[in-house]
Structure 1
């Protein structure tokens, strides 16, 4: 079995786990009368990403091979998300925020580090086999998106969108990857014989990257752009599903199958991943990130203007631009960090990237989005007012993304060298 195929399976399962609940959990929380807690559920993914990926990355750099640690983290994450599903089943209509949130939080605390870890495993294995990661990784990573799509569609088709069974689906996939990860090629740790400082021993040298103006600005804007990452994951499904309460749109396909409609976003992501090597070489990291930022403006703006009836084309276009919005930032950023950091701190640097994006940025974004949605949507009593509130909320998010894009264009300086072989820029 070829090594690329083995990494494809790893990526497929890695994101199928997330796809089981990421886009539909908001609708489940609405059905469980926990709509006011959607933001904190999604923010918890960001909160744990502030410290867990860095801690796990340090362990992978220094003590435990990354592939083995990947399996251990998935095992623990699967156990806790499975327990959350069991609790929801046992509690029936009386699901309480506290127990469900606690079990879910422990699960994501161990899942979120695996995103950076799986990247590190792929990079390490590919480099050990002599592959160019910039060229070889995107076609492998694209299968992660395929896994996410398949898991979303299974969740939709099986009727799990508004039930706790999405957590059970997630647990089964997590246990599968936990076992599979243990069979992957070994990723060596950096055990040097020379005496190291405390900072070096703990793997904290990755934070020294902030001393470089280029890297500091990159991480700061990664955080600002990270604000947008989880907003549609948390609120797109409840938003689209809410049109079932509007007589004009009650019978539309989108209003009744939000996950299937949202899955077009991941189809777009699948195609856009394949464009990354070309775009990075042709345009450079700054322009690629600018494309992502303006794509977020369109992503949110089209949600604010569309509907699942005559305006469904706006929803579809929003799904299409998502591929650029997500991939051109997340994947390109990960490759940029990989190319700009020393191998001894690579896992730690990937963890730091996660802290800034899925950690601080996503936490601020989801909590801020919850405040906006509470103010404009859930505080309203009529269906008409709630629908108008949703539109206003999405346009506010679009305005934020536009401001970040304009400032980034003016502040971030990076000289791109399209002739640099095996590099993103120079």
Structure 2
């Protein structure tokens, strides 16, 4: 890979996740302050991510892999996304906003697979080369949060009251338009599947990997993956609004600590995985969710603000130790036959079904804990995902039997 191609792919990843982090983190706060959305409406808006994840395999598997170059579809989808983002910027009520965010997520979610396809197509040894490219995505997410909080102050108390969070959609629309045009300059990534070869819907969605569920251990891991996405949804949907309501300064910038933590624990994961094994690693990840939400429930912006900071910093353990470890374990259990379809199945089950249910439940819990001043009883809200994550962890600890995993499969 030449330095110029490495630069192209790094910029592509930076923009891909700058776009996502530039509006999704503050979405819950925007809906509450700008559109006065209920918890149920907020859940409906966030669930568009899940619908996008469910529909994405059709776009990638039935279109991108068979008919058109990945970089061209990437460009078209981001240009469409730019238009939808600009229309979201102009929206003034939820009824107008919802179909736009749904359309946007259907366009955006397939691009997560497409940027990987474009990257892998240029690599001789993806196991060694991809992490260098992918880390720029995390940097992009971090930069988006810092820009919102420390450059434009859109999430400051005054900015929220004046409706300035709408500007995040304009910023992302510009970035999306740039990435859309830039994508057409990326290295050519032709279709990977012979058009004459028939590919069933079952294979496209990874459902042929369902046979792996006959293995008791994989079944337990699969169920735990779906269930842990319910407390995960609370974090995505309400953390920014929570920090804003309790008076935290620069909440979006503060939340970037989670992405810094993600990079750190990604580097520590191989050591932890090899030292303690898969089961303990997964349990640590699930236990971190419980600890995080308890810290959120009892922390404050005064002397106990360190509890909020630690809760955010636990993101690296929460995400890496469970989801990245899960990808490694899935790769190990699937073997060559179901390697791709098994990963697709887990993604569909977690970001599709699991998160869809999680967003809905989070909305119900939030609506049930609204105070007379139209604020939220956050202690009661955070106790639910803390207890739920602990329950999932205990079930997994009891019913999952530890097993050795070949160290050769531990490639981050």
TM-score in terms of structure 2 length? 0.85
The whole-number CA distance in structure 1 between the counterparts of 2:340 and 2:82 is 23
The whole-number CA distance in structure 2 between the counterparts of 1:286 and 1:155 is 38
Is the 8 Å Cα contact of residues 75 and 178 (structure 1) preserved in structure 2? Answer: yes
Q: Confirm whether residue 118 of structure 1 aligns to residue 111 of structure 2.
A: no
Q: Confirm whether residue 260 of structure 1 aligns to residue 257 of structure 2.
A: no
- Residue 390 of structure 1: aligned partner: 378
The whole-number CA distance in structure 2 between the counterparts of 1:50 and 1:205 is 9
The whole-number CA distance in structure 2 between the counterparts of 1:96 and 1:194 is 47
Is the 8 Å Cα contact of residues 66 and 117 (structure 1) preserved in structure 2? Answer: yes
Q: Which one of the candidate residues 379, 385, 397 is aligned to 1:409?
A: 397
Q: Which one of the candidate residues 56, 74, 77 is aligned to 2:78?
A: 74
- Residue 324 of structure 1: aligned partner: 317
Q: Which one of the candidate residues 53, 56, 60 is aligned to 2:60?
A: 56
Q: Which one of the candidate residues 391, 400, 407 is aligned to 2:388?
A: 400
Q: Secondary structure at the match of 1:270?
A: helix
Backbone CA RMSD of aligned residues = 2.8
> How do 1:352-371 residues align onto structure 2 when only pairs under 5 Å count?
352-371=345-364
The whole-number CA distance in structure 1 between the counterparts of 2:135 and 2:275 is 20
Query: Per the alignment, do residues 109 and 132 of structure 1 end up closer, same or farther by CA in structure 2, a change over 3 Å counting?
Result: closer
The whole-number CA distance in structure 2 between the counterparts of 1:190 and 1:210 is 24
Q: Secondary structure at the match of 2:302?
A: coil
Q: Which one of the candidate residues 15, 18, 22 is aligned to 2:17?
A: 15
Q: Secondary structure at the match of 2:301?
A: coil
Q: Secondary structure at the match of 2:114?
A: helix
The whole-number CA distance in structure 2 between the counterparts of 1:71 and 1:329 is 32
The whole-number CA distance in structure 2 between the counterparts of 1:364 and 1:334 is 21
CA deviation map 1:300-319 (0-9, x unaligned): 11101101111101001101
Q: Which one of the candidate residues 355, 358, 372 is aligned to 1:381?
A: 372
Q: Which one of the candidate residues 128, 131, 140 is aligned to 1:147?
A: 140
Q: Post-superposition shift, 1:336?
A: 4.9
Q: Confirm whether residue 42 of structure 1 aligns to residue 46 of structure 2.
A: yes
- Residue 242 of structure 1: aligned partner: 245
Is the 8 Å Cα contact of residues 272 and 281 (structure 2) preserved in structure 1? Answer: yes
- Residue 280 of structure 2: aligned partner: 287
Unaligned residue ranges in structure 1 (runs of 5+): 89-94, 245-254
Is the 8 Å Cα contact of residues 329 and 405 (structure 2) preserved in structure 1? Answer: no
* Count of paired positions: 395
**Structure 1 residues 307-316 or 182-191, which shifts more?**
182-191
Is the 8 Å Cα contact of residues 52 and 108 (structure 2) preserved in structure 1? Answer: no
The whole-number CA distance in structure 2 between the counterparts of 1:179 and 1:205 is 29
Q: Post-superposition shift, 1:346?
A: 6.3
The whole-number CA distance in structure 1 between the counterparts of 2:99 and 2:251 is 27
Query: Per the alignment, do residues 288 and 120 of structure 1 end up closer, same or farther by CA in structure 2, a change over 3 Å counting?
Result: farther
Query: Per the alignment, do residues 195 and 365 of structure 1 end up closer, same or farther by CA in structure 2, a change over 3 Å counting?
Result: closer
CA deviation map 1:379-411 (0-9, x unaligned): x2048xx56x21111011111111111212233
Q: Secondary structure at the match of 1:17?
A: helix
Q: Which one of the candidate residues 104, 107, 116 is aligned to 1:107?
A: 104
Q: Confirm whether residue 30 of structure 1 aligns to residue 23 of structure 2.
A: no
